[in-house]
Amino acid sequence: MHLVGAALAMYALARVAGARPAPALVAPALFVLNAHTGWRVGNGVVGQIMALLWTPTAAALALAGLRRRSVLLMALAGAALAMLVLAGTVYDQYFAGLAVAALVISDSVARLWRSSRRQWLSEAARNGVLAAVAVVVMVGVSAVKLLPVTSYQPFSTRMGFSLQEAEVGLDSIPTAGQFAGIVLEQVPASFLPGMNFLAVVVAAAALVRPNRTVSAFLGMAVAGMWTTLGQRAPLDLYAFFHGALPGFAFNNTTLRFMNLFYLAVAGLAALGLSTLVDLAAARLRSSSGRVSTGAALGIAALIWTAAVPPMRPVVEQATSADAYPQRPLAGSAPDILAKFQAAEGEHAFRTFSTYIFDRGPDRVNAAASSLYGLDLVNPINAHLVPSYALMPDYSATGETLRRQYLLSAILNARYAVYERAYRLDPPPAGSLVAELQGGVISRNLEARPRAALLPSAILLIGADRDRDFNAFEARLVVFLAAFDPQLVTVFHGGSQYVDDYSADELASFAGIVLGDWQARDGSTARKLLDDYRTSGGMVIDFEYIETLERNPFRRASAFLADRDPPKRLTAVAEARTRELLRRLARPGTSGGHGAVEIVSYEPTKMEFRTPSLERPTALVFSQTYFPGWTVDIDGQPAKLFMADSLVNGVMVAAGPPHFVTFRFQPGTFVAGAWISSLSAAAVLITAGVSVWRGRPSRAR
């Protein structure tokens, strides 16, 4: 459905751009063939397939709205862009926004060029209003997703994403020669030789009759090419992309910008073929233009004929139930992991995969967690972020590998599926559980359960100067070799004021780490700490050395690789922290708590039952921590902490079994839902009234 919709939308864009009916037929073939359609379908992410429909739709509506000075059409263009936001395709949203921006800029320049200086201000103001309408509607309709994402994305970026993959991906940026080869091979030449030359000729023919639309498409093509080549001057579009949307930094980002180029080439080809038709009709002095129209249909048919064979398997995969098999292939990674799940229990573990896109039976099928229900539940990030993937070939130090396995243990990632093609270090001794064609499955022997009661908890108190809930200060403890994830957890992200905690709350912790802490009443805070020390508790002044941080988005990788991290413990603080961890690892400090029972597990609500507890105990829930999580114990609200720089934690009181409920209820989601509903209703009502009256709304 989306492929057909994309073809129709691209045809509509070509027609709105001024292409004649027959020549416009080349646009859908070139766009749908080239815009990584096969990759999108193979990836199976519906938002990326939806982008094929909404990108040309947004461009067509924007182009029509600018020509007619229609507020309604620009509002609909903004709604189309909002659909891209809601679909989750951040890359596609970006290049679709660039396409609309190119149309606005081209139209504005053309109007200013033809206007007198007295009219410049009014012309610019009108186009500014139209562009603002599109932006406001886009933000309004997509607010249900935009508000929550903007609230937690900076935190997610600093914690999870590190630009490490992007830096590796920079080595894969195509050269100008490679890019030229891609451009000249849009249509597979093995089917009909000469089709690539024909496609380039008809696209270039659009430059014979330059106008604002041709200029806009040309600008899109240049922007797509410039960014794909990773160019940095005179305008660094690539850096702007990652500056505006930091954290979305995968090694195929530059390749995605080819989609902007392909959209432009498809539009130029339709306009160019229309130009050739008009020139041929004028030369032949044909009043009806039947001969030239027939030639255009012939050229379009040739390009479609060349496009259909390579598109056929993609369409079959998209429309066939076999594209998403209900049962995994026998002996494949999903089959083996499904057996582990059946034996260990539903939601018992997560998996890490180094390859998630190819589902063919001839490769290691590592998409188990997203396809076969092994880990469908994560209301924020549907996958485990790149900084936690087991890829030591990116930074091959033994310390990095240890830290990555440690983070995966905290995240309940019990199994790792990876291809040997990644040249990873062999898994630790005793962890290999299965050999696959081209890969292996290994077990993380230190992985925590999905929910675990840990015998010892450390409380970190300090001001959240980095806006990360003291996550990286916590990693200064977690990454020490003496830290045992089976015995100890670090709670942080609570109040920075010592006297906000009661004496009983402090007494439930095995140690207290004081960072940049504060007090509402100094004497009360000091008495609480003195009483804690008197009762045998250990208090550590958490002193660390800060260094200049040139790029905060590389912080995660800097800590993982232990290479120029922005924070290091002083020798005294590190020695004291190691002493505390060794004390907590002594015999007699572990065990005796029993397992936590999973009562129910839904995307935004998880319920657990604890056994009877002899003393207050830390419950760690291996779900990625984000603002918006809440926890109730026996129906009463409890204090939620971030634990071990990644997950959720809560202190459970001593006594009979407790019923613990975690919910994800971000206030921004509720507010965004109201804004989206009202915005969508306003657009629909305006469109309905306009249709009923029989005339479009116009900017004045």
Q: What is the DSSP string of 472-536?
A: HHHHHHHTSTT--TTTEEEEESS-SBGGGS-HHHHHTSSEEEESS-B-SSHHHHHHHHHHHHHTT
Same domain, 464 and 565: yes
pLDDT of amino acid 413: 82
pLDDT of amino acid 664: 85
Cα separation, 302 vs 308, whole angstroms: 10
Cα separation, 415 vs 349, whole angstroms: 8
Of 269, 290, 322, which marks where a domain is finished? Answer: 322
Determine the structural domain holding residue 377 and report its residue range. 333-443
Report yes or no: 511 and 538 within 8 Å, Cβ to Cβ.
yes
Residue 161 forms part of a structural domain: yes
Global pTM reads 0.76
Of 295, 322, 349, which marks where a domain is finished? Answer: 322
367: confidence class by pLDDT, cuts 50, 70, 90:
very low
Same domain, 140 and 86: yes
Same domain, 232 and 210: yes
Percentage of the residues of the chain whose pLDDT score is greater than 70: 71
Domain count, the chain: 3
The pLDDT tens digits for 635-656 are: 999 999 999 998 999 999 999 9
Rg over CA atoms, the chain = 29
Q: Is 155 left (phi over 0), alpha (psi -120 to 50) or beta?
A: alpha
Tell me the mean pLDDT in the region 544-553: 76
Report yes or no: 554 and 163 within 8 Å, Cβ to Cβ.
yes
Q: Which two tokens stand for residue 368?
A: 């188990």
Report yes or no: 662 and 621 within 8 Å, Cβ to Cβ.
yes
Residue 521 forms part of a structural domain: yes
Residue 588 forms part of a structural domain: yes
Same domain, 433 and 514: no
Is pLDDT at 562 greater than 90 in this prediction? no
Cα separation, 400 vs 425, whole angstroms: 11
pLDDT of amino acid 641: 97
Tell me the mean pLDDT in the region 175-188: 69
Same domain, 598 and 522: yes
The pLDDT tens digits for 586-600 are: 655 544 456 899 999
Cα separation, 404 vs 422, whole angstroms: 16
Same domain, 132 and 252: yes
Same domain, 532 and 570: yes
Tell me the mean pLDDT in the region 596-606: 87
Helix (H) or strand (E) holding 131: helix 117-141
Of 322, 341, 359, which marks where a domain is finished? Answer: 322
Same domain, 639 and 500: yes
Is pLDDT at 384 greater than 80 in this prediction? no
Residue 171 sits at the vertex; the CA angle it makes with 262 and 30, to the nearest 5 degrees, is 10
Residue 688 forms part of a structural domain: no
Residue 585 forms part of a structural domain: yes
Residue 282 forms part of a structural domain: yes
Q: Which residues face 489 on adjacent strands?
A: 457
Same domain, 495 and 608: yes
Same domain, 488 and 427: no
Classify 542 as helix, strand or coil.
Answer: coil
Cα separation, 193 vs 283, whole angstroms: 28
Residue whose entry in the numeric block shows the structure tokens 């579009």: 237
Same domain, 403 and 486: no
Q: Which residues face 492 on adjacent strands?
A: 642
pLDDT of amino acid 33: 73
